[in-house]
């Protein structure tokens, strides 16, 4: 069985989370502080050291909690933000790869009309 998480909305929570929290604790954060739908959206949380992320999502008949730890470096999150915001699937992919997804999002795609 293939595990494929798709969602119209991916939310990032911009405050470090106690990583002892599991599905119930992270769901409570969503209920108290976020506007997303637990049964439709995907939610991203990070720890204080920013070297771990948890991804919470609904999959068919239950919750899935994914956990990723970087062996080197830190995940890039805007530390001067508070609350939460929505990102797209491409930004999520960059985030999980450990890339600076905020900077990459602002890059413009180059197009060329003439090759000389």
Which of 116, 63, 66, 115 lies closest to 95, judged by CA?
A: 66
pLDDT tens column, 34-54: 988 999 999 999 999 999 999
Which of 115, 113, 90, 116 lies closest to 101, judged by CA?
A: 90
Structure confidence at residue 105 (pLDDT): 58
Domain spans of the chain?
10-100
pLDDT band (50, 70, 90) for residue 104: low
- Alpha-carbon torsion (44, 16, 84, 98), positive or negative: negative
Is the pTM higher than 0.95? The answer reads no
Structure confidence at residue 92 (pLDDT): 85
E-assigned strand segments in the chain: 10-13, 42-46, 52-59, 62-69, 84-87
By mean pLDDT, which of 12-16, 72-76, 109-113 is the weakest? 109-113
């Amino acid at each position: 069985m293939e595990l494929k998480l798709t969602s119209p909305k991916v939310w990032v929570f911009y405050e470090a989370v106690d990583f002892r929290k599991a599905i119930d604790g992270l769901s409570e954060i969503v209920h108290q502080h976020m506007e997303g739908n637990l049964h439709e959206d995907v939610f991203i949380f990070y720890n204080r050291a920013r070297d771990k992320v948890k991804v919470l999502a609904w999959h068919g008949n239950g919750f899935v909690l994914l956990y990723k730890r970087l062996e080197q470096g830190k995940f890039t999150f805007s530390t001067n933000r508070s609350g939460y915001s929505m990102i797209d699937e491409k930004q999520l992919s960059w985030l999980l790869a450990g890339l600076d997804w905020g900077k990459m999002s602002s890059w413009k795609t180059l197009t060329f009309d003439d090759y000389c």
